[in-house]
Structure 1
Amino acid sequence: MEQLTNHLIVISFDCLSALDFPLLQTLPHFKTILEKGSYVKKVASIYPSVTYPCHTTIVTGNYPNKHGIINNTLLQPGRTSPDWNWYRKLIKGTTLYDEAKKANLTTAALLWPVTGKANIDYNLPEIFPNRPWHNQILVSLRNGSPRYQWDLNQRFGHIRNGLNQPELDDFVLASTVHTIKTKKPNLLLVHFTDLDTQRHHYGFSSREAFASILRHNERLGRIFSALKESGIYENSTIIALGDHSALDESKALNLNVLFQQHKLISVNAKGKINNWKAYCKSCDGSAYIYLKDRDDFETSNKVKRLLKSLLADPAAGIEKILNAEEAASKGADGSCTFMVEAKKGYYFLEDFQGVYVKNVTREDVLVDKKYTLACHGYSPEKPEYSTIFMAAGKGIRHKTVVQKARLIDEGPTMARLLGLNLGDTDGKIIKELLTV
């Protein structure tokens, strides 16, 4: 298959929304992509629309129930900080970077989700220490490219301030610029999370979110400059995309509190879960309901009655209930027993003690990072909830606007640019964007 570009630079601006288009059109570096290239006005995300499933969909072209990353975190009932889906081995099937390696192309990834121990030439995976005895740098080194990461830390580690933003993205930017200039990868995947962080902490349309988009514009400009300085700009394709949008919320729903009250979760004397029959696994704006025994019809019926009573209560925050088959039909995890969608203004947590509906204040957000003022994870069918895809450079048509596409279509489209094939994918190539 003909290769349309020599260098594919994929930049994910986590939580960039279709609603951001009017602002992006006024910013010089985003404006460059929009005026020189093409874009999709509204990209439908996936269900649940959270970061790790989304980024796996982007590089596979498949829905979560096909690629296997069905949530950010693992089902670990009662754990305050569950482990995340960090590792490549958890993805079913191939990925864009796997196919690039098979074609002897040079690959690089910086903080791209679910790339722990992936076969990527220059890999700084997104992974953090989730045990008191873990160390951030050592955890990263063990799960990526050690020599490459050590060099980046020696050069740019002083920029970081733990995992805080915007310093983390500034470190990723410096590392990206250096990687472009010294490695000139054929495929580069970069994940920036500044905007997502600000929207979670301060709200969708906050001053802080606005400021982060301005910073992203400057980051994009630095990447353009690096491509030019390295002499590969004319032979490159730059893609800027979002993985999901976000919605403001102010009420957290704790279904596990009700499950405990109905004796579906039991707690020991230390306040820890020691057994469970049903558990609400949060995906922020939606949640999976799992049964410990999927054939426990008594528990299933009990949960169903409880959920239906909440659906009938306007103040309970539940918009929709799906069974396993309905969840699977939308690309979500069919091994759940139910999936629930929150109303706008609500989201799910996994607390099993306290109140069912928790009013979230700014003070709560400052004290505990589980509380947010805007989040995602909602159904892509929610109104005004689309994300974004724009591209410019080799292989991309000039000034073509595609009204609608799906997140699952991005992987096959990017594969086509590199002359690769992801196989039998849920998505299809967005042919209108390409020169062939």
Structure 2
Amino acid sequence: MERKVILICIDGLAAYYLDDPRCKMPNVRGLINQGTKAEKMKVAYPSSTWPMNTSIVTGVYPKKHGVLGNWVVERETRQVKEHFGDRSWDKEDVVQVPTLYDLAHQKGVKTAAVCWPVTRGAKHIDFNIPEFYEQELFEKHCTPTFWNELKEHGLPVDHYGEWSKDHARGKMQDWLTAEVAKHLIRNHKPGLMMLHFLVADSFQHDYGTRAPEVFWALDYIDERIGQIIGALKEEGVYENTDLFIVSDHGFMDAHSVICPNVLFKQKGWYDEENPTNSKVVAVSNGGVGYVYILDEEYPDELASLVKEELQQTEGVECVFENEHFSELGFPRIEEHSHQPDFIFEAETGYFVYFGAEGDKVIDKNKYTAMHGYLPEKEELKAVFIAHGPSIRSGLSLPEINIVDIAPTVAKIIGLELEDADGKVLEAMINVREVKV
């Protein structure tokens, strides 16, 4: 029987939650007891959803895969563009390296993805529901025959958009994602399926880390995972399925926001009425800000002034320039048109907001917790769990890297990711069960 892999990302599940007795998650803990768990997993920069989920399926850092943040500025048009919600581009236009699902599909493996970031228009996903926040995008870009099949089956996919945008109803989106997964298992049995659960991330933004609402959300997601396991057992494919439970980043609590575009507006560099006329524009990627120098007349002089202002701004921990980008896993400015001139890291307790309304550079927090910060920070460390016939039982790994996931899954499926930044986690693979 064909080996199957299910890759589940629980958005925002920090490694520290699994050490907290308030985090029950009995189904996930059952997988840990009978499988492999990493002590923690170091993510990449910025520790935000769209670049990290792309690293999960490519095994490379943003420098290579090209998805540099949830939000970037397109220099050619001077417009803010969004990977967030897959609003601006198709996957084929922005992901610069092969993904797991590309290689699997080309080998004849049936592929599926439900709410996985940066999958709009992906050519090699047979059953695809990308992560959107607008219903019209779901209706336009989901795999048409599959989308209509789900409607005929009675699943309320016409509510995906409204449930995605409303944090209070995010549990309904995660419920629907699990129902779609169960439908796929029962009716199509994909060889590689990727699922993304969101409500724990939403509740941490709203209520902070370790809030009662977050522990409830984690248990709710665990119930969904339990139902997926149940469907695998009902269909007789559980014993032939390798399950990977991972996360894309952790979280840090925050009390204040830095508003760089307010600062730039005060300096006369940012045009609030028509941002595309601005000399300087910043976008937020959570705990980091991306700053673009768009002035064509005196860019070097302006860059020097901008750097000085950022370094003197409350809540700014450090400013990275072109010379630092490679060590952060980023391209140099001349290598990618979305690469900012400066990246600045917020201090603990602060994050970045790119609105320009009002006159406060430092304002009260708009969310209670945030991510995006440097991956070296312990709170940002993520989760890696694997279970199945290809996985050794009872193994604990030391800290791994997020880019190790794709090469390891590829090895199990019988694929090879060329030029991956990560490595195959050989110690966890049950070699006798893997046929390459």
TM-score, scaled to structure 1:
0.89
Find 2:18's aligned residue among 16, 21, 24.
21
Shift of 1:359: 1.0
Structure 2 CA distance, aligned partners of 1:390 and 1:240? 5
Deviates more, 1:271-280 or 1:77-86: 77-86
SS for the counterpart of 1:266 is coil
The equivalent residue for 1:125 is 130
Q: Does 1:375 align with 2:370?
A: yes
SS for the counterpart of 1:110 is strand
Matches within 5 A, 1:13-412: 13-23=10-20, 26-75=24-73, 82=82, 84=84, 86=86, 87-89=90-92, 90-118=94-122, 119-129=124-134, 136=135, 138-154=136-152, 155-157=154-156, 162-163=163-164, 164=166, 165-267=170-272, 271-293=273-295, 296-310=299-313, 316-335=314-333, 336-354=340-358, 355-360=360-365, 371-412=366-407
SS for the counterpart of 1:120 is coil
Q: Which amino acid in the other structure matches residue 190 of structure 2?
A: P
Structure 1 CA distance, aligned partners of 2:82 and 2:126? 29
Shift of 1:79: 7.7
Inter-CA distance 82–60: structure 2 relative to 1 (3 Å threshold): closer
Structure 1 CA distance, aligned partners of 2:209 and 2:220? 16
Structure 2 CA distance, aligned partners of 1:199 and 1:422? 34
SS for the counterpart of 2:55 is helix
Matched-pair contact (CA < 8 Å) for 1:397–1:433: yes
Structure 1 CA distance, aligned partners of 2:115 and 2:202? 15
Q: 1:332-383 CA deviation, whole Å, 9 max, x = no partner?
A: 35322111100111000112232100112xxxxxxxxxx2111100000113
Shift of 1:307: 1.8
SS for the counterpart of 1:394 is coil
Shift of 1:81: 8.8
Matched-pair contact (CA < 8 Å) for 2:85–2:131: no
Q: What RMSD, in angstroms, separates the aligned Cα atoms of the two structures?
A: 2.1
Structure 1 CA distance, aligned partners of 2:220 and 2:24? 14
Q: 1:284-322 CA deviation, whole Å, 9 max, x = no partner?
A: 101111111587101111112112222xxxxx0011111
Q: Which amino acid in the other structure matches residue 322 of structure 1?
A: F
Matched-pair contact (CA < 8 Å) for 1:235–1:393: yes
Q: 1:24-47 CA deviation, whole Å, 9 max, x = no partner?
A: 884321121111100111100110
Q: Percent identity over the alignment?
A: 31
Matched-pair contact (CA < 8 Å) for 2:50–2:83: no
Q: Which amino acid in the other structure matches residue 388 of structure 1?
A: V
Structure 2 CA distance, aligned partners of 1:203 and 1:37? 30
Extract unaligned runs of 5+ from structure 1. Answer: 130-135, 311-315, 361-370
Structure 2 CA distance, aligned partners of 1:196 and 1:15? 5
Matched-pair contact (CA < 8 Å) for 2:69–2:83: no
Matched-pair contact (CA < 8 Å) for 1:281–1:287: yes
Extract unaligned runs of 5+ from structure 2. Answer: 334-339, 432-436
Q: Which amino acid in the other structure matches residue 52 of structure 1?
A: W
Shift of 1:266: 2.5
Q: 1:97-123 CA deviation, whole Å, 9 max, x = no partner?
A: 000011100101001110111121111
Matched-pair contact (CA < 8 Å) for 1:108–1:123: yes
Matched-pair contact (CA < 8 Å) for 1:247–1:374: yes
SS for the counterpart of 1:377 is coil
The equivalent residue for 1:133 is none
Shift of 1:198: 0.6
**How many pairs are equivalent?**
408
Inter-CA distance 26–167: structure 2 relative to 1 (3 Å threshold): closer
Q: Does 1:6 align with 2:3?
A: yes
Instruction: List structure 1 segments (4+ residues) > 4 angstroms apart after TM superposition.
Output: 23-26, 76-83, 158-161
Matched-pair contact (CA < 8 Å) for 1:69–1:85: no
Inter-CA distance 325–85: structure 2 relative to 1 (3 Å threshold): farther
Matched-pair contact (CA < 8 Å) for 1:105–1:187: yes
The equivalent residue for 2:337 is none
Structure 2 CA distance, aligned partners of 1:125 and 1:82? 14
Shift of 1:142: 2.4
Matched-pair contact (CA < 8 Å) for 1:253–1:358: yes
Matched-pair contact (CA < 8 Å) for 2:395–2:428: yes
The equivalent residue for 1:427 is 422
Structure 1 CA distance, aligned partners of 2:304 and 2:140? 45
Structure 1 CA distance, aligned partners of 2:269 and 2:85? 26
Structure 1 CA distance, aligned partners of 2:270 and 2:113? 41
Matched-pair contact (CA < 8 Å) for 1:39–1:433: no
SS for the counterpart of 2:155 is helix
Matched-pair contact (CA < 8 Å) for 2:270–2:281: yes
Shift of 1:325: 2.3
Structure 1 CA distance, aligned partners of 2:129 and 2:271? 40
